[in-house]
A and B are shown apart, each in its own frame.
Chain A
Amino acid sequence: QQQVKQSPQSLIVQKGGIPIINCAYENTAFDYFPWYQQFPGKGPALLIAIRPDVSEKKEGRFTISFNKSAKQFSLHIMDSQPGDSATYFCAASSTGGYQKVTFGTGTKLQVIP
């Protein structure tokens, strides 16, 4: 059974737009929620992560919003650029992140100039 559901599967936005990627989880034991960015031919790279004791975290143009009661979290990319075109994976793990990570299905983002 898939434990982390991610949507949309793909997303096209204009430069400067704010793409939003949504994820939902089922396992209440999860306490670490990272987002990864993957470019073709490369391994995933950690972008930003959040713990359930905060509702929002910002790092540069990337923001995670977290709703613990709804078991949902989302990634917002402010002022998106063509260089942000990549596949984004949400993920979740437990025990502070030092356990196996469960990945979402991925969102392929294309930012059009």
Chain B
Amino acid sequence: SAVISQKPSRDICQRGTSLTIQCQVDSQVTMMFWYRQQPGQSLTLIATANQGSEATYESGFVIDKFPISRPNLTFSTLTVSNMSPEDSSIYLCSAAGGANYGYTFGSGTRLTVV
């Protein structure tokens, strides 16, 4: 399956600032997704990153807060904007499709907002 590199692995940020998380896949993939996971909890889908078009957001998530880019079939970014302590969480990138079937996840970005 595809290998995903996600960075940064962790960060501590001041409230009101923004953080951009990068997701790089080692092969071209059809679908890329961004999830949020609170420690000890399940995964919540934020949005589907569409190549060459605007991301598709799930209920409760908006583009102004979580802008997403996907310039090609191997790379995507998620920005967490105007952060508050409630945004403290683990953010995960996922990819599906490409040469090998199945979903793969990055190791996540552990974000703490102070």
**Chain A: residues with CB nearer than 8 A to chain B?**
34, 36, 41-46, 49, 89, 97-106, 108
Contacts and interface: CB of A to CB of B under 8 A. Distances in A.
B26 to A, nearest CB: 15
A91 B102 CA distance: 12
Contacts of B92: 43-44
Q: How large is the interface on B (under 10, 10 to 19, 20 to 34, 35 or more residues)?
A: 20 to 34
Contacts of A106: 41-42
B1 interface: yes
Given A42-B108, A43-B92, A98-B96, A89 B102 contact: no
Contacts of B102: 34, 46, 49, 97
B42 A98 contact: no
Contacts of A102: 45
B8 interface: no
A100 B45 contact: yes
B96 A97 contact: yes
A89 B41 CA distance: 10
B105 A44 contact: yes
A31 to B, nearest CB: 14
Contacts of A43: 4, 6, 92, 94, 105-108
Given A98-B30, A108-B40, 7 more contacts: A41-B107, A44-B92, A46-B104, A98-B31, A101-B45, A103-B43, A104-B42
10 contacts: A41-B108, A44-B43, A45-B105, A46-B1, A49-B102, A100-B45, A100-B48, A102-B45, A103-B42, A108-B40
A89 B107 contact: no
A51 B35 CA distance: 24
A89 B48 contact: no
A42 B45 CA distance: 17
A99 to B, nearest CB: 8
Given A34-B103, A41-B107, A43-B106, A100 B42 contact: no
The residue in A43, A89, A99, A103 that gathers the most chain B C-beta atoms within 10 A of its C-beta is: A43
Nearest to A40: B39
